[in-house]
Amino acid sequence: MIPSCFSFDYAEARSKFLAATRDAGLEVTSIQNEAVKGPRDADLYTDVVRIGPSDAPATLLFMSGTHGVEGFCGSGAQVEFLKTLKDREIPTDVQVVLIHAINPHGFAWLRRVNEDNVDLNRNFVDHSKPHPANPNYEILKDVIAPKDISDEALKAANATLRAFSDEHGPVALQAAASCGQYTHDDGVYYGGTFDTWSNRTFRQIVNDTCSQSKAVALIDFHTGLGPYGYGEMIIEVGPEDPAYDRAKGWWGDSVKSTVSGESVSAHLNGTIDGTLPEMLSNAEVTAGAIEFGTRPSNEVFRALRKDNWLHALGDPLSLEAKPIKKEIRAAFYPDTDDWKQMIVARGREVIDQAMAGLSADAKRL
Ligand SMILES: [Zn+2]
């Protein structure tokens, strides 16, 4: 049953999510991104389902597709959650909000970024202030996001990146490439210069669903980092923040903080997790991303760079796009039964732990 919860493309993922919602007797709120379309002129939506009392003292936000193409993973977990809802014990003081495909354009076009080439999980900064600087990206931009993606050119670019890593260390290289940059809209991990549609939509959903809650948690499903099928729970607060102890209390020592350098991820600028506590200043917020491994990191990075080139300099509708799209889909979505089983098992674990933790917090607060 589990593999059948996962999909071939965004359209199928959305229809499975809507069908599972209907079968569970729940209402869906569909928010269309009217400015853009998917392949074959398809309409694009973020879909939201609320489970449990809307005035609950605690809310769990369970989200997929922040990084478009990574949405296959979270969507499958959400569909499985809906299909098994009748057998689950959800605490009566917890509302669960499923947010399906918060970046539907990236999901539909098999891109990590959105319609503006923006990485949504770098976009949550105050755009009226100077953007975070990333001087090492400036130095390395032509080799991180090369204008020539032939094998020879990528080999030469990789040699330059290796030399940087030898001199400054692999952590510095990972941060340069992935922590976010706000200066090159044709580059990778670009954070943008305005609040994107998905950013505004997420804020609206949080506003509509969480304002009653004293305790709020977010689990945002991601893929592409770490060992195959393993799900690392990542938080972006250090031990000085009360959310750090809460997260460790709920999810145990498997929680890794980007602040203390424990995580497979670099510490990032402009993330959803980092912003949610500011958006809900009257609630106790515990926000985490669950990051599932797919392919070796060099393969994931190569797929990202080729896809970036395709949309910046190539033609996503041409024949040459086909192998690039196949490669990026495989890099973020293994599409194998064992991987899907691992996603659902680990996803269930962290969701159940968060609901239990929230319920305890709701009684205390
Ligand atoms: Zn991601």
pLDDT in tens, 285-298: 999 999 999 999 99
The ranges assigned to domains in the chain are 2-124+189-226+328-364
State the Cα–Cα distance between residues 220 and 2, nearest whole angstrom: 20
Distance 158 CA to ligand 1 centre (A): 22
Alpha carbon of 223 to ligand 1 centroid (Å)? 6
The predicted model gives 158-186 an average pLDDT of 96
How far does residue 231's CA lie from ligand 1's centre (Å)? 12
Q: Cα separation of 172 and 164, whole Å?
A: 9
Work out whether strand 28-32 and strand 45-51 pair parallel, antiparallel, or are unpaired: antiparallel
Q: Which residue has the tokens 């069908």?
A: 19
pLDDT tens, residue by residue, 20-77: 999 999 999 999 999 999 999 999 999 999 999 999 999 999 999 999 999 999 999 9
Q: Is 192 left (phi over 0), alpha (psi -120 to 50) or beta?
A: left
For 129, the token pair is 């202030």
- Cα 364 to ligand 1 centre (Å): 33
Q: Is the pLDDT score of 261 beyond 90? A: no
User: What's the CA-to-centroid distance between 282 and ligand 1, angstroms?
Assistant: 28
Ligand 1 centroid – CA 292 distance (Å): 9
Instruction: Report how far ligand 1's centroid is from the alpha carbon of 362 (Å).
Output: 29
Q: What is the pLDDT of residue 48?
A: 98
Distance 144 CA to ligand 1 centre (A): 18
User: What's the pLDDT band for 277 if we cut at 50, 70, 90?
Assistant: very high
- Ligand 1 center–CA 349 separation, angstroms: 20
Report DSSP state, residue 24. Answer: T
Distance 293 CA to ligand 1 centre (A): 11
Cα 187 to averaged position of ligand 1 atoms, centre (Å): 17
Q: Cα(180) to centroid of ligand 1, in Å? A: 13
What does the pLDDT average to over 301-316?
Answer: 97
Distance 160 CA to ligand 1 centre (A): 25
Separation of alpha carbons 241 and 108, rounded Å:
37
Architecture of domain 2-124+189-226+328-364: 3-Layer(aba) Sandwich (3.40)
Residue-wise pLDDT tens digits, 117-146: 999 999 999 999 999 999 999 999 999 999
Q: What percent of the chain has pLDDT over 90?
A: 96
With 90 as the cut, is the pLDDT of residue 242 above it? yes
Confidence of residue 266 (pLDDT cuts 50, 70, 90): confident
Calculate how far, in angstroms, residue 150's C-alpha sits from the geometric centre of ligand 1. Answer: 26
The pTM for the full model equals 0.97
Q: How far is the CA of 92 from the centre of ligand 1 (A)?
A: 31
pLDDT for position 264: 87
| Distance in angstroms (rounded) separating the CA atoms of residues 28 and 18 | 8
Alpha-carbon span 93 to 355, nearest angstrom: 9
Q: What is the mean pLDDT of residues 183-188?
A: 97
- Distance in Å, CA 241 to ligand 1 centroid: 23
Task: Name 89's Cβ contacts closer than 8 Å, sequence gap at least 6.
Answer: none
